[in-house]
Structure 1
Amino acid sequence: MVTRINKQKPGKIVKPGEDFEPWESHNPVPLPLIWIAVALGIWGTALLLQEQDSKVVAQAEREAGEAAAHDAAEGGAALFLANCSTCHQPNGAGVRLAVPPLQDSEFAKAGPGVVAQIMLRGIDGPIRVKGFTYDGHMPSFAEALDDAEVAQLASYVGARFGGGETVLAPAEAAQLRMTHSGSGSWQGGAELASLVADLPPQPPMPATAEAGLDPAISDLIFAGKGDVWSCASCHGGLGQGAENTPRLAGLSQGYIAKQLHDFRQGERHNEHMSFVAKGLDDAEIDGLAAYYAGLRVDSTAQPALGGDLARGEQIALQGDWGLGVPACFSCHGPSGFGVGAEFPALAAQQPAYVASQLAAWAGGHRNNSPLGLMDRISEALPEADRRAVSDYLASLPAVPAPEPQAMARIEGGEDEL
């Protein structure tokens, strides 16, 4: 309640009437305060204009920087990480006895023109790099990369790992593509010696003699035997698989034989495969395993489960130690090449099949992995992560199995294993 003092009677407080309106006199604002307010307003306006100008300049600089990075050799760094680092490693060190190094290698030092020609054709057969011999398969990147990307990546490799300063132009990469179109892969270091001056002696390509397919094994694959249906009826004529039927082409002979033995002995469970495996003898199992291990065919797999490919790549390359999950490639080899009879190739495998096997391990329905590794890993992965890594593996190019050199030597009568 508002009250007022009676001036005639200072000791008495008088209540205001109903029509009383409170008011307060206003003192004038000090002039210095007005000047400060005006100055602050001018300063703030100037800052806004300056910030706007800075944004315009920064945007222009960023666009110019992106264009320069795209054209420079260093622009190939991202391409290298995406296409090469899983095999050759981010530091170019390679994998001992499996993948040749790029760092200070004779081929990186030869310049981006040589690197581009290797990228466009790929390599099959033995190659000697920095004093060590490697014998495997490098796929061609002619379909995966356009001319500008080939030029950027080759220039990056030549500069980063070879110490050169030459930059390959996209037009030069296009000319190299035309020159080598339809040439097939380089036949080891022996053929590459024609590109690189003063290259150390390279191992020769092995003889290509191959034993013909046993008619009995051919019948098993394409016609079946008795009540046992043919392999091709499910896995396809070239063993590429489909949907929940796995790709067999390029898996190691030891791995395929082990799985067939496990199906036959009840150590791995699948009604159809158990029936087929029980109808095979040891020689037939070995013959089928050798056939599919030697197949070199393209991938028919593609992401189909709606998985997060970036998350799948992380699991495959780095793992997730928060879940206690190691990288897939730490056991299954660079780029999912596969390692021996225990760790199969994962690259280009059908995604529905991979996801179903991960679920089977997690649920205790499959338990024939070494030391129970896959049981624990699969159980730790959420279902979304299983789909993600399955789709990512399906996006990788197929890595063909090495040529059966031991078989060629035996057929040639040179030696025995």
Structure 2
Amino acid sequence: MSKPRKHDSSKITRPPESYEPWESHNRIPLPVIWIALALGIWGTAMLFEDQTSYTVAQSAREAGEVMAHDAPEGGEALFLANCSTCHQPNGAGVRLAVPPLEGSEFAKAGPEVVARIMLRGIDGPIRVKGFTYDGHMPSFAAALSDSEIAEVAGFVAARFGGNAAELAPGAVAGLRGAAAGKDSWQGGAELATLVADLPPQPAMRAGSEADIDPAISDLIFAGKGDVWACTSCHGGLGQGVENTPRLAGLSGGYLAGQLRDFRDGARYNEHMAFVAKGLSDPEIDGLARYYAGLRVASTAAPSLGGDLARGEEIALHGDWPRGIPACFSCHGPSGFGVAPDFPALAAQQPAYIASQLAAWAGGHRNNSPLGLMDQISAAMSEGDRRAVADYLATLPAVPAVGPDAIAQLEGSDDGQ
């Protein structure tokens, strides 16, 4: 058994008295340095982001408080929610399509006249401030209560007609009873019985259909050879159904362009490609003129379960942070269209609108001017597409713009 070895203390080297322990540390590995730097940068970024988020949230909160403080109430709020889509928030209406309220003879007549119009609606031509309009205003009898109609009528008469007369909900109840069972007012000619000293009002039209060439009539109602009739899918008056679009009121230029795209393969639909390939250019132009001239009521209604408030927000204001402009910025006030490239959206069948938005988003349709709809549709969620489609179905159909109204406007412009 060996003996334990003795340590020779004389051979031990002692550190100098000035030695500090950290002087002999090994070098820190580079990966550790990188991790430390990354953590430092991340922490700084998070602090900045938190501060930015707080600033944005504070600004949004303050903006919300200002908006809530300044939000319209009463009749003005009801007007903005129910009437401004067509008549515009400032009551200016839509040129050649929707009559103005600002300074109109009917607003000046007082809230009772406005209430009577709201309870029954208007069908047919009406002359306001020197111009003739020919469309359809729906009745609000089912949508608004007596007190709400009284508030809206009072606001319209005071704000746009300078008539501050009072109208009580009880009086509206009496007007509602008198209007029960009656159809819409038949244009300005019948409304002249309510308002004294109106300018001469146009007579009602004999019918709602446009004049039609016999050859085009055969295409629409009977078809040609192996090509089936337009009415077999789009309905007798071009109002559409479900995933088949409304054609009535779309501009002639747009309709002709789409038919040619189907024929030439720029837009694909198996059924429409078959039909369009059997049409000549004169036939396409004749069909486009016919459907552009139709002015018939809407048969569309929300059917997709979309959020109508969200749909209205996108249609009127868009969602710019997501790259979605307002629908009406291209398709015109109230969705009445801007010929020839931007079709009317008002009263279009919601299933058709949603399917076309999905087709653009998926790259299955690509004949939009400058590819605008491809980008916009791709930025929209499925819920947004359903919301917009359902909201557009709640809008009134495109009003008629007759040759007399256009001639009047051109004469007015020439004289300026």
Do the two structures share a fold, i.e. TM-score over 0.5?
yes
Does the 8 A contact of 1:139 with 1:399 survive in 2? no
| SS of equivalent to 1:135 | strand
Q: Report if aligned partners of 2:254, 2:342 keep a CA contact under 8 Å in 1.
A: yes
| Contact 1:116–1:173 under 8 Å retained in 2 | yes
- The one-letter code of the counterpart of 1:292 is Y
SS at match of 2:116: helix
Select 1:140's aligned residue among 138, 155, 164. Answer: 138
Shift in Å, 1:358: 1.0
TM-score (norm 2): 0.70
When normalised by structure 1's length, the TM-score is 0.70
TM-superposed CA distance for 1:177, in Å, is 4.5
Q: Secondary structure at the match of 1:157?
A: helix
Quote how far apart the aligned CAs of 1:167 are: 2.2
- The one-letter code matched in structure 2 to 1:238 is L
Partner of 1:221: 220
Letter in 1 for 2:154: S
Distance 1:312 1:108, change over 3 A: same
Give the match for residue 337 of structure 1: 336
> Contact 2:96–2:406 (CA<8 Å) still a contact in 1?
no
- Go from structure 1 to structure 2 and tell me whether the alpha carbon gap of 1:402 and 1:387 turns closer, same or farther (over 3 Å shift): same
Please give the alpha-carbon distance, in whole angstroms, between the structure 1 residues aligned to 2:211 and 2:378.
Answer: 44
Structure 2, gaps ≥5 residues long: 1-71, 408-416
Aligned residue number for residue 389 of structure 1: 388
Shift of residue 406 of structure 1? Answer: 9.6
Change (3 A) 1:175 1:341: farther
CA distances 1:148-167 after superposition (whole Å, capped 9, x unpaired): 43323211211232333322
Report the counterpart of residue 267 of structure 1 in structure 2: 266
* In the alignment, structure 1 residue 187 sits paired with structure 2 residue 150: no
2-structure distance, mates of 1:277, 1:187: 38
* Equivalent pair of 2:96/2:405 in contact (CA under 8 Å): no
Q: Which residue of 2 aligns with 1:241?
A: 240
Q: Which amino acid aligns with 1:187?
A: G
Shifted more, 110-119 versus 133-142: the winner is: 133-142
Quick one: structure 1 residues 383 and 82, their matched pair in 2 at CA, closer, same or farther if it must change by over 3 Å?
same
Summarize the Cα distance change of 1:308–1:222 in structure 2 as closer, same or farther, 3 Å threshold: same
Residue correspondences, number: 331
CA distance in 2, matches of 1:239, 1:270: 18
Query: Which SS does the other structure have where 2:161 is aligned?
Result: coil
Residue pairs, 1:164-313, within 5 angstroms: 164-177=163-176, 179=178, 182=182, 184-188=184-188, 192-199=191-198, 201-202=199-200, 204-205=202-203, 212-313=211-312
- Offset at residue 300 of structure 1 (A): 2.6
Name the CA distance, whole Å, in 2 between partners of 1:260 and 1:95: 28
Q: Higher relative CO (CA 8 A, sep ≥ 6), structure 1 or 2?
A: 2
Measured on the aligned residues, the alpha-carbon RMSD in Å equals: 3.0
State the Cα distance separating 1:147 from its structure 2 match.
4.0
Structure 1: which 5+ residue stretches go unaligned? 1-72, 409-417
Give, in angstroms, the shift of residue 194 of structure 1.
4.7
Change (3 A) 1:333 1:211: closer
Report the 3-state secondary structure (helix = DSSP H, G, I; strand = E; otherwise coil) of the residue aligned with 2:320: coil
- Secondary structure at 2:124's aligned position in 1? strand
- The Cα of 1:75 is off from its aligned counterpart by 2.7
**In structure 1, what is the Cα distance between the partners aligned to 2:224 and 2:242?**
25
Q: 3-state DSSP class of the match of 1:161?
A: helix
Q: In the alignment, which residue of structure 2 is the partner of 1:127? A: 127
8 Å contact kept, 1:137–1:399: yes
The answer to whether the Cα contact below 8 Å between 1:351 and 1:393 also exists between their aligned partners in 2 is yes
Is the CA contact 1:211–1:407 (under 8 Å) kept in the aligned structure 2?
A: no
Code of the residue aligned with 2:128 in structure 1: it is: R
CA distance in 2: counterparts of 1:315 and 1:91, whole angstroms: 20
Q: Percent identity?
A: 70
